[in-house]
Structure 1
Amino acid sequence: MFQAPLWLAVPFSLLRGQFIKSIALLAVIGCISYGAVLTRNYFLQCRDNLIKNNREVADNDQRQLAMGFVALGVFCLVVIITRRSPLIGVFSAALAAVGYYLNYIIGAWQEPTEGIAPPPEPETLDHLTPTQREMLSNAQDYLRRMQRIGEHLRDDENGIYLAMRLKQIARRGQQLLTEITPSAEKIRKVRTLLVIHLREAATIGEQFTLLASEKRLQSRQQFSALLDTILNEVNQKHDVLSDAQQRRLDIHMQVLQDQLKESKHHE
């Protein structure tokens, strides 16, 4: 969408005889497009290596080069197209580079992938009640299901953000389980998360993957918001959300479930 106005400006510049401006527009489009291609190739390599070798790394990481092309494109756009001063162009290019760095280089995709650990041995859970042991075991299963859903969504170009969020929930959730397992009191404090929210997220995620591509687009925003809420809860290690937060999360889940059921019914 960002490049659409630039493409539209090219023929208008040619009709007006502004050939230098047309060349500059094409240079901007080329820089930004090439940066996007390099970035996409990085994520595809990470996905393929994760599937083949269980290692989320790229064989040829060219994100820094992509960041440079994006910054160069922004500089040309500001200085040549909009005719601002080079100082403003440098400042704008620096902002673009920082934005790219924050989103695509130090983001969650750079973190190593960790599988979901097997449940602790029975003798290490003697201090827990049978119900608490079942809660931990079920939570492990929900995290594995979310990890599988995330791997499935990586095959969909529109599902990269959702896959990232599911991976984060699975990883942080595993860290939380490791932390609370020695303490029955800590398990009681996060029972809402273990019993309800992880289960619902896994179930909704599985329903989401069964939808046709066009139906996914309609539900993606709500599913993304739901995952953001659950990830925030895992990060904060809440046992009981505030009443208002609890109602919002429950309503969010119910609305998304109803939408998914309606979408499947119309297919």
Structure 2
Amino acid sequence: MTNLAGKRGLVVGIANQHSIATGCAKAFHAAGAELAVTYLNEKAKPYVAPIAEALEAPIFVPCDVRSPGQLETVFDAIEQTWGQLDFLLHSIAFAPREDLQTSVVNSSPEGFALAMDVSCHSFLRMAKLAIPLMKDGGSLLTVSFYGADRVVEHYNLMGPVKAALESSVRYLAADLADHGIRANAISAGPIATRAASGIDRFDALLDEVRARTPANRLVTIEDVGKVAAFLASDDGASMTGSVVYSDNGFHTVA
């Protein structure tokens, strides 16, 4: 069984009980980790607060990576409360709806830049802030999707953005190896989350993936959480720079 006893982790990206980040946070907690949890804004807080309470999170703070200083404030809170950090989960992505629901060639420069900043560069910012807190090494995790590697209908702008995120994982793994810090991405199968609701015809995508996946079973947030807990633990210490699929084998099917 995965053991995270004595470890402290940051979870960014819980929107509600159906979020992939929620499944991961519950797995971290069940394995014995102490967690810091963030919420996007006051509108989101009532949906995240009960989850943070159930996780017994001693740190519960807002984090909108678009707001100057908020991400730094999160890490300041961790330093003041714990003085260290063992792992973090980056599970956030955003693109303006008008840019997400059009072809890549028609996406606006502003929408593309915003999607890249929130969905990809924020992971690099978190890594930089985590380095001084990961004194004994650590694990950086982010969440990707098959659309980073292959064209998925209606995924549009997020395909190139997730591809950049996966490439960033590889470069982070190399950059931070001397610090004992590893970086991995979990490529999760499609899950009906709030973030996914912005993708046009997402229900049709779920049906198609279910039909093509071996055993015809979609992945759950609990499934992804178990993979995340393993990668955050000492058992996953030899894995870095990897894109680990948690999709019931969908990526293997032609």
TM-score under structure 1 normalisation?
Answer: 0.27
Q: Which has the higher strand share?
A: 2
Q: Which has the higher helix share?
A: 1
**Higher RCO (CA-CA < 8 Å; seq separation 6+):** 2
Give the number of the structure whose alpha-carbon radius of gyration is greater: 1
